[in-house]
Chain A
Amino acid sequence: MMLIVAPHIMPNNYWLRIYTMSGLWVMLALGLNVVAGFAGLLDLAYVAFFGIGGYTFALLSSSQLNVHLPFILVLPIAAVFTMLIGITLGSTSMRLKGDYLAIVTLAFAQIFKLLLLNLDTPVNITGGVNGIFGFDPINFFGFRIISSVAYAYLIWFFAVGVTLGSFRIKRSRFGRGWEAIREDELAAEAIGVNTTWMKLMAFAGGAFIAGAAGALFASFQDSVFPNNFDFPQLVIVYCMVILGGLGNIPGVILGAVLLSILPEFLREYGAYRMMSYGLILIVLMALRPQGIMGEVGFLIRKKIRPDKDQTGRLRTSTELYYDENAKPLGISESKSQYAKSSLAVLELNHVTMDFGGIKAVDDLSLVLHEREILSVIGPNGAGKTTLFNLISGIYPPNVGSIYFEGREITGLKPHQVVKAGISRTFQNLRLFNKMSVLDNAKVGQFCRTSAGPLSILFHLPLHTKEENETDRKAKEVLGLFGARLTGYRFDQQAGFLSYANRRRMEIARALSTDAKILLLDEPSAGMNPQETIEITEFIKSLRDLFGYTILLIEHKLNVVRTISDRVIALDYGIKIAEGSYEEVANSEKVIEAYLGRKRQRVFS
Chain B
Amino acid sequence: MEIYLQQLPQQLINGLTLGGVYALIAIGYSMVYGILGMLNFAHGEVYMIGGFAGWWVLHLLTRNNEVLISAALVISLMIIIAMAVSALVGVVAERFAYRPLRNAPRMNLLLSALGVSIFLQNLVLTYQGAKVRFFHIGALIPEGLRVIHIGPAVFSFMRALVIAVTFLLMGLLSVMIKRTKVGKAMRATAQDLEAASFMGVDVNRIIVLVFLIGSALGGAAGALVGLLFTQVDYYVGFQAGLKGFTAAVLGGIGNIYGAMLGGILLGLAEALAVTFLPSAYKDVVAFVILIVVLIVRPWGLVGEKMPEKV
Contacts and interface: CB of A to CB of B under 8 A. Distances in A.
Interface of A: 36, 40, 42, 92-93, 95-96, 98-100, 102-104, 106-108, 110-111, 114, 118, 186, 231, 235, 238, 242, 246, 271-272, 274-275, 277-282, 285-286, 289, 355, 385, 389, 394-395, 426
A282 B116 contact: yes
Most chain-A Cβ atoms within 10 A of its Cβ — which of B118, B245, B298?
B118
15 contacts: A93-B291, A93-B294, A96-B298, A99-B110, A102-B110, A103-B294, A106-B242, A107-B287, A186-B308, A246-B107, A274-B121, A277-B115, A281-B114, A282-B116, A286-B100
Contacts of A106: 242
Contacts of A93: 291, 294-295
B290 interface: yes
B287 A110 contact: yes
A104 B38 CA distance: 16
Contacts of B287: 107-108, 110-111
Contacts of A103: 39, 242, 245, 249, 290, 294
A177 to B, nearest CB: 18
Contact of B96 (A278, A282, A394): A282
Contacts of B123: 275
Contacts of A389: 310
Contact of A275 (B101, B104, B107, B126): B126
A515 B139 CA distance: 78
B125 interface: yes
Interface string B51-93: 0000000000000000000000000000000000000000000
Given A235-B118, A281-B115, A92 B38 contact: no
B147 interface: no
A-B pairs, 10 with minimum CB distance? A281-B115, A278-B119, A278-B118, A99-B39, A285-B112, A282-B115, A275-B122, A107-B287, A274-B122, A286-B100
A423 B310 CA distance: 15
B184 interface: no
B307 interface: yes
B280 interface: yes
Contacts of A394: 310
A286 B112 contact: yes
Nearest to B115: A281
B46 interface: no
A278 B116 contact: yes
B284 interface: yes
A104 B126 contact: no
B290 A107 contact: yes
Most chain-B Cβ atoms within 10 A of its Cβ — which of A231, A246, A271, A285?
A285
A108 B105 CA distance: 25
Contact of A114 (B41, B125, B284, B308): B284
Contacts of B114: 235, 238, 281
Interface in B99-158: 100-101, 104-112, 114-123, 125-126
A279 B238 CA distance: 18
Given A238-B111, A289-B104, A282 B97 contact: yes
A40 B238 CA distance: 24
A390 B96 CA distance: 43
A286 B118 CA distance: 16
Contacts of A98: 106-107, 110
Contacts of A279: 115, 119
A281 B118 contact: yes
Contacts of B242: 103, 106-107, 110
Contacts of A42: 107, 110-111
Nearest to A286: B100
A242 B110 CA distance: 12
Contact of B290 (A40, A104, A426): A104
Given A92-B295, A114-B283, A395-B307, A285 B111 contact: yes
Nearest to B40: A99
A385 B39 CA distance: 31
Most chain-A Cβ atoms within 10 A of its Cβ — which of B119, B280, B308?
B119
Contact of A242 (B111, B120, B298): B111
Contacts of A186: 308, 310
Contacts of A278: 115-122
Given A110-B287, A395-B307, 13 more contacts: A93-B291, A98-B106, A102-B39, A103-B245, A103-B290, A107-B287, A272-B126, A275-B118, A278-B119, A278-B122, A281-B111, A285-B109, A286-B96
B280 A385 contact: no
A111 B122 CA distance: 22
A67 B97 CA distance: 50
Contacts of B125: 274
B283 A110 contact: yes
Contacts of B119: 275, 278-279, 282
A111 B282 CA distance: 11
Interface string B159-203: 000000000000000000000000000000000000000000000
